[in-house]
Structure 1
Amino acid sequence: MAKVLGKANLFSACDYTQKKNQKGGGSLYSKRIPGFCCKTNRFTSLKMKSMALRCDFNGQRMVYLERKFVNKRRFHQVPIKAQIQTGLIGRTSKWWENGLQPNMKEVASAQDLADSLLNAGDKLVILDFFSPACGGCKALFPKICQLAKMNPDLQFLQVNYEEHKSMCYTLNVHVLPFFRFYRGAQGRLCQFSCTNATIQKFKDALAKHAIDRCSLGPAKGLDEKELSALAANKDLSFTYKPKPVGPNPNPVPAKEEILVSETCLNPKESEEKSLVGAGGG
């Protein structure tokens, strides 16, 4: 009979000779656990895995067994839990992520918005302010994706109102869905709010400003007032340095300078007057 030794799940085994069972003539050790000697198949009914290490102990061979019980319920639950952790199960796609085109991008911060407008060059950039809880934004979004697919040369920037409320307040955006058009050195071209019923307003603005144009100078992006307002907002990590104002090439002369210039139009007369004044003195 097997004997447990201490807490290490060690079992003593009898000598490994080819003994025969008195009843059936079979071997005394279990077929499921090769090399283990016991009178009865005590461990055959247990759902376990064994790992045996053999050694000699006082002329008898010892078998060290490490029992690992397998629970069927736990075995089936592990893959499901792993799939949930990896995100394969239970993740529902958001409606503003369905149907996105390569020329559509979601803005991450105020700095990202300003940099995206400056780096767009002469492209027409369309800012789309939306909210996940806005039913009008959700209904209009598939058509915006369709228009973005039909116009791959345009750049669509999505601004999530729920994640960037402070920035939207600073930019004076209070109605959703709301759109702003920007292009190159011209800066902001137009702004308006439209819904699924008034989509024609968006199409008209797109037909008017989507024509390719070459602007002189670098891209302007946001207005200086908007940039300074974003920099003043403490809730935003946005830095803005105003451009240094150079001297005016065509300065407007002051009134005193105009009077002096009028008196100095005839220098001869001024000299004669000064001599007369000196002789009279």
Structure 2
Amino acid sequence: MSTIDLDNDSFQSAIQADKPLIVDFWAPWCGPCRNFAPVFDKASEEHEDITFAKVNTEEHQELAGTLGIRSIPTLMVFREQVLLYSQAGALSSGQLDELITQVKGLDMAKIHAEIAASQDGQDTPQA
């Protein structure tokens, strides 16, 4: 599967989809972004069970700002509407493969339970 381009409107529906989502925030003038693009595209062809998307930060500055993107390239990984990974910097092919393996291996039921527990703790009034 090839990568898809996301904008303000399509971003929310993309993170709500069933498949894990890996988003590359990039800009055309960014050298490291251009160097990372073939690694990202190759991974998208090898992992059809994951949605690979790109956000051009020049064209979608509001979305990048809302998500706190301060440097590029930045990768974000979502699964079941949970942000699992957010880090600036280009990854090597091996690093991206390792990240994908880790994301696929996560126990999402446990992660959702941990999120719910932490939210319950925050809702409790302090004496």
Identity over aligned pairs, percent: 20
Distance 1:116 1:252 in 2: 32
Q: Which of 108, 113, 116 lines up with 2:14 in the alignment?
A: 116
CA RMSD between the two structures: 2.7
Which runs of 5 or more residues in structure 1 are unaligned?
A: 1-101, 217-247, 256-281
Mapping of residues 225-244 of structure 1, within 5 Å: none
Counterpart amino acid of residue 64 in structure 2: C
Distance 1:168 1:184 in 2: 21
Partner of 1:210: 104
Q: Which of 130, 136, 144 lines up with 2:26 in the alignment?
A: 130
Which runs of 5 or more residues in structure 2 are unaligned?
A: 111-119
Partner of 2:116: none
Partner of 1:165: 61
Partner of 1:151: 47
Counterpart amino acid of residue 178 in structure 1: T
CA radius of gyration, larger in: 1
Mapping of residues 265-280 of structure 1, within 5 Å: none
Partner of 1:12: none
Mapping of residues 239-254 of structure 1, within 5 Å: none
With the length of structure 1 as denominator, give the TM-score of the two structures: 0.37
Distance 1:138 1:210 in 2: 26
Partner of 2:117: none
Listed one character per residue, the Cα deviations across residues 67-106 of structure 1 (whole Å, up to 9, x for unaligned) are xxxxxxxxxxxxxxxxxxxxxxxxxxxxxxxxxxx34210
Give how far 1:201 is off: 3.5
With the length of structure 2 as denominator, give the TM-score of the two structures: 0.76
Distance 2:20 2:58 in 1: 25
SS in structure 2 of the partner of residue 190 of structure 1: strand
Give how far 1:200 is off: 4.0
CA contact (8 A) 2:75 2:88 kept: yes
Give how far 1:202 is off: 2.6
Distance 2:2 2:109 in 1: 21
Change (3 A) 1:211 1:162: same
Give how far 1:140 is off: 1.2
Structure with the larger helix share: 2
Q: Which of 195, 208, 213 lines up with 2:90 in the alignment?
A: 195
Per mean C-alpha deviation after superposition, the further-off stretch among 133-142 and 204-213 is: 204-213
Listed one character per residue, the Cα deviations across residues 196-242 of structure 1 (whole Å, up to 9, x for unaligned) are 6x5543332212112386659xxxxxxxxxxxxxxxxxxxxxxxxxx
The runs of at least 4 consecutive aligned structure 1 residues that moved more than 4 Å come to: 212-216
Partner of 1:27: none
CA contact (8 A) 1:125 1:157 kept: yes
Counterpart amino acid of residue 105 in structure 2: I
Q: Tell me the number of residue pairs that the alignment of Structure 1 and Structure 2 aligns.
A: 115
Counterpart amino acid of residue 158 in structure 1: K
Q: Greater relative contact order (Cα 8 A, min sep 6): structure 1 or 2?
A: 2
